Amino acid sequence: MTGQRWLLRGVRLAQPGRPLTEPVDLVLADGLIAAVVPAGQADPSGLAPGTKVQVLDGWLVTSALAEPHAHLDKALTVDRVVNRTGDLDGAVAGWMAVDAPTRYGDLVQRAVSVIRREAAAGVTALRTHVDTGALPGLDPTRTLLALRHDVAPLVDLQVFPSFGLPITGPDGAPTRRLIAEALELGVDGLGGAPNLDPDPVAALDIVLKTVKDARVPLDLHTDETLDPDHFLLELIAERAPELGVPVTVDHVCSLAVQPAVKRTRVAQRLAAAGVKVVTLPQTNLYLQGRQQRSPVARGLTAVRDLLDAGVTVAGGGDNVGDAFNLVSRADPLETASLLVAAAHLDLDQALELVTTSARAALGRPPVRLEAGAPADLLVTKATTVQELIAFAPVDRLVFKAGHVTARTEAATTLAPLATPLQATYPPST
């Protein structure tokens, strides 16, 4: 599909690690950034017929956002699934307590609702995990695979079915059979949580052999706890290079409670193995640390140690309005804000985790704001990266392969002030 042609006048380009540019004119054509020239120098008369001109004086352009970790099968079920303890075990118990029709009956409507929100926020690529197992079987996977085609104009959707539990032993035979069938459906990769199996190491062996034989990417939930004794991450780092497939791990909360020497060693092994990490601040801040009243643990992984070691770390949103996270706006800028507050990242780092690094976690190339790059862009009514992350402006224009996929405009009317503002401070008496 040939991209639309656009001239975006007077925008400023924000890329992590680079200074904010002076205003430029951005020309988009055939799904790519065709030219970047100083503001006012792009002559519309010299552009191809049909080029649309949008004056955006001072608006900020970044790479489009990406969502590396979602659960569309669970999203927006907060009204029917109760988490009685507020933690991960309570969320799992609540989810399993309702029958399959209640859980999945309106999956299409809920999934599309979240995808629309993500797309409006500026997301052009999204990975969803999806449960398998005795009750849901593969119907949720089939549903999301069908949606993969339908929502392609908005987002590139990746579907990763998860190994159900148990994985090992005779009782795990149905799980292993379902995953074999899922692979035949053309899924984008596999997920799971082998550390929750009665035999975590044996479960990991099964998962790793499966993805190695199938030659599909692996994206594992692991070590989603603050118990330091639950720690499968080091073994994953050791085994990942032999697989020959991309490996991503999510949550890895217990890394944060390991001794400093161990954190550094494991982070370096992950970096050497090319294993990417997705940190999920909102859900982990919600679920973790509830048993520790004072001081309350943050629940995040050791983000700083991972970045210092050179690991690709992405920020994900995880759950949206369900038993695992009651809130969330399905906007990676909210994730970026939490990474500043809870992981102590600077603004550029937080932006990178939800753009370039999030795309890398999805196996997508970076979007550089230069001629020849893909025109997957977020344009917002912000003037700085600080304003972008702090205020998450409502006014946004989203491009996917040069096509406008979302446009949001807001208008606010305030009552007038009681008196005109004083021209000086302090006011005269």
Q: What is the dihedral of CA 69, 75, 76, 81, to 10 degrees?
A: -120
**343-371 pLDDT tens trace:** 999 999 999 999 999 999 999 999 999 99
The rounded percent of the chain whose pLDDT value lies above 90 is 86
- DSSP3 helix / strand / coil % (the chain, rounded to 5): 35, 20, 45
Long-range (24+ apart) CB contacts under 8 A made by 89-95 are 90/323, 91/287, 91/322, 91/323, 91/324, 94/323, 95/322, 95/323, 95/324
Q: What is the mean pLDDT of residues 306-318?
A: 98
Tokens in use for 213? 């034989």
**Phi, psi angle pair for 361, to nearest 5°:** -60, -25
Q: What is the mean pLDDT of residues 304-308?
A: 98
**237-266 pLDDT tens trace:** 999 999 999 999 999 999 999 999 999 999
Per-residue confidence (pLDDT) for residue 419, from 0 to 100: 78
Name the strands in the sheet holding 156-161, side by side, starting at the edge strand that comes first in the sequence.
65-70, 123-130, 156-161
Per-residue confidence (pLDDT) for residue 357, from 0 to 100: 98
Q: Which residue has the tokens 């999203």?
A: 75
pTM recorded for the entire structure: 0.95
Per-residue confidence (pLDDT) for residue 1, from 0 to 100: 46
The pLDDT confidence band at residue 298, using thresholds 50, 70 and 90, is: confident
Per-residue confidence (pLDDT) for residue 153, from 0 to 100: 97
Q: What is the mean pLDDT of residues 209-233?
A: 97
**What CATH homologous superfamily does 6-64+367-408 map to?**
Urease, subunit C, domain 1 (2.30.40.10)
The pLDDT mean for the chain works out to 94
**What span, in angstroms and rounded, lies between the C-alpha atoms of 34 and 103?**
46
Tokens in use for 93? 């118990």
Does residue 294 register a pLDDT over 90? no
Domain ranges of the chain: 6-64+367-408, 65-361
Does residue 429 register a pLDDT over 80? no
**54-75 pLDDT tens trace:** 999 999 999 999 999 999 999 9
Tokens in use for 372? 């020849």
Per-residue confidence (pLDDT) for residue 423, from 0 to 100: 64
Burial class (CB in 10 A: 0-12, 13-18, 19+), 395: middle
The pLDDT confidence band at residue 425, using thresholds 50, 70 and 90, is: low
The pLDDT confidence band at residue 428, using thresholds 50, 70 and 90, is: low
CATH 3.20.20.140, applies to 65-361: yes
Distances (CA, A) of 272 to 115, 140, 269: 34, 35, 5
**379-394 pLDDT tens trace:** 999 999 999 999 999 9
The pLDDT confidence band at residue 48, using thresholds 50, 70 and 90, is: confident
Q: What is the mean pLDDT of residues 210-222?
A: 98
For residues 221-247, one letter each, b for 16 or more C-beta atoms within 10 angstroms of the residue's C-beta and e for the rest, the string is bbbbbbeeebbbbbbbbebbeebeebb
Per-residue confidence (pLDDT) for residue 3, from 0 to 100: 60
